[in-house]
Amino acid sequence: MMAFLYKADAVRGAEWARLFAVKAPDMPFHIWPDTGDAEDVRYLAAWLPPADIENRFPRLEILFSTGAGIDQFDLAALPPGLPVVRLAEPGVVAGMVEYATMAVLALHRDLPVYIRQQREARWAAHRVIPATQRRVGVLGLGVLGRAVLERLRAFGFPLAGWSRTRHEVDGVTCYAGDDELPAMLARTEILVCLLPLTAQTRGILDAALFRQLPRGASLVHAGRGAQLDHQALLDALDEGWLSGAVIDVTDPEPLPGNHPYWTHPKILLTPHVASMTQPETAVEQVLDNIRRHQAGLPLVGLVDRSRGY
Ligand code: NAP
Ligand code: GLV
C-alpha cells in the first residue's frame, strides 16, 4: 500500500484530504498525528517534518514542503537520497503576485504617508510620480520573482532583477551574482526581496545594502525573516535614508508584541500572509509529481540540496 501523509495546517489538510479522495481515491491519505502504518508512508507533505523521518518512515520516497520555501527543513538531517520537492504551484504564485503588486503600489503611491496623515486628520497632497519614473528592483528571479516582474511591467515601472546565475527576462534589466548587486541597488527605488533563505542570503538586507539604495528608497520584504537585519531597517527609516517598508516576514515569527515594527509609522506589517499554497493547485502538483516519480521523470520543484533552495 502506498500511503500519503500530510503534516501541516489542519484546515488546508482537510481540503487536501477531500481532493485526494476525488483525484487519487486509491491512495490512503493520513493527516498527522494519524500516520496509518508507518511502513506504508511513501509520500510526506509537511511544513515541519517530524524528527527522525528515516527510521520512522523507512520507505519514504518523496518529501514535499507544503510551502514554496524549504528553509524550515534541516536538509542535513534528512536522508541524503530523499528527493525534497517544494510547491511553487500556480496558487502560491498568484498570491505573491497580488501581494507584491499591492505593496509596490502602496509604496509607489505613498500609502504609509497618507495613512499617517489620515490619523492626524491632515489633508496634504504630495506630487504623484508616474510609474515610468519609479525604478523597481526584485531580488530573486525565481518562479515568484519572475511572475511578480511580469505583472509589474504592465504599470510601466523601469524594472531590474537580481539572481545568482544569469537570466534574461523580457523588459527587465537583469543582474547576476554578488559583483553585480551594487549596480542593481544603485538604480532601485523600490526593492522587493523574493530570495530563498540560504547561508548566502541570511542577513542580506542589512545596513550596507540599504546604503547602496538611493536616498528615499523603500523595501518590500516577502522572502524570509532571517534575511532582514531588523535594527538596520529601523535605523535606515529613522534617519530618513529609507522612506518606507512593507514587511511580511520577520525573525522570529510571530513578532513579539513589543517589537517596534508593530507601531512604526513607516512600516506596513503583515503576518507572513503574502502568499499561501492553495489546496486545489497544490494537490494537482503533488499528484503530478507522484506520477512523474513513478514514471522515472524529473520532478517539478525538486530542491537542489547543494544550493540550499
Ligand atoms: P526559486 O524559484 O527557487 O527562486 C529563487 C531565486 O533566488 C532564483 O532566481 C535564485 O537565483 C535567486 N537566488 C538564490 N540565492 C541567491 C543568491 N545567493 N544570490 C542571488 N540570487 C539568489 O524560489 P521562488 O519560488 O521564487 O521563492 C522564493 C522565496 O519566496 C521562497 O524560498 C520563500 O522563502 C519565499 N516565499 C515567501 C512567501 C510569503 O508568504 N512571504 C510565500 C512563498 C514563498 P538563480 O535563478 O540563479 O538560481
Ligand atoms: C510561504 O512562505 C511559503 O514558502 O509557501
Q: How confident is the model at residue 1 (pLDDT cuts 50, 70, 90)?
A: confident
Label the pairing between strands 136-139 and 190-193.
parallel
Ligand 1 and 277: CB distance under 6 A: no
For the chain, the structural domain boundaries read 3-89+277-294, 93-269
Ligand 1 and 86: CB distance under 6 A: no
Amino acid at site 193: C
- The C-alpha cell at 141 is 528571479
CA-proximal residue: ligand 1, atom 1 (nearest): 142
Label the pairing between strands 267-269 and 242-247.
parallel
Ligand 2 and 274: CB distance under 6 A: no
Strand order in the sheet with 242-247: 172-176, 159-163, 136-139, 190-193, 217-221, 242-247, 267-269
Q: What is the CATH number of domain 3-89+277-294?
A: 3.40.50.720
- Catalytic residue flag (residue 224): yes
For a ligand 1 pocket test, name from 85, 150, 164, 227 the mutation site with the most ligand atoms within 8 angstroms of its C-beta: 164
Ligand 1 and 250: CB distance under 6 A: no
Q: What whole-number distance in Å separates Cα of residue 144 and Cα of residue 164?
A: 15
- The C-alpha cell at 161 is 532583477
User: Among candidates 216, 254, 256, which has minimal Cα distance to 135?
Assistant: 216
For a ligand 2 pocket test, name from 64, 277, 286 the mutation site with the most ligand atoms within 8 angstroms of its C-beta: 277
Which ligand does the CA of 227 lie closest to? 1
For a ligand 1 pocket test, name from 163, 180, 181 the mutation site with the most ligand atoms within 8 angstroms of its C-beta: 163
Question: pLDDT, tens digit, for every residue of 19-32?
Answer: 999 999 999 999 99
Catalytic residue among 224, 291, 292, 305: 224
- Catalytic residue flag (residue 272): yes
Residue 288 in this model has a pLDDT that exceeds 90:
yes
**Which residues does 3 contact at the CB level (< 8 Å), separation at least 6?**
27, 28, 29, 30, 36, 37, 40, 41, 42, 43
Ligand 2 and 67: CB distance under 6 A: yes
Ligand 1 and 141: CB distance under 6 A: yes
Residue 214 in this model has a pLDDT that exceeds 90:
yes
Q: What percentage of the chain reaches a pLDDT higher than 70? A: 100
Which ligand does the CA of 142 lie closest to? 1
Which ligand does the CA of 301 lie closest to? 1
Q: What whole-number distance in Å separates Cα of residue 257 and Cα of residue 274?
A: 20
User: Among candidates 73, 83, 68, 81, which has minimal Cα distance to 50?
Assistant: 73
pTM: 0.98
Q: What is the CATH number of domain 93-269?
A: 3.40.50.720
Q: What percentage of the chain reaches a pLDDT higher than 90? A: 100
93-269 shares the fold of 3-89+277-294? yes
Question: pLDDT, tens digit, for every residue of 215-273?
Answer: 999 999 999 999 999 999 999 999 999 999 999 999 999 999 999 999 999 999 999 99
Place of cell 507522484: 290
Question: 138 φ, ψ to 5°?
Answer: -115, 125
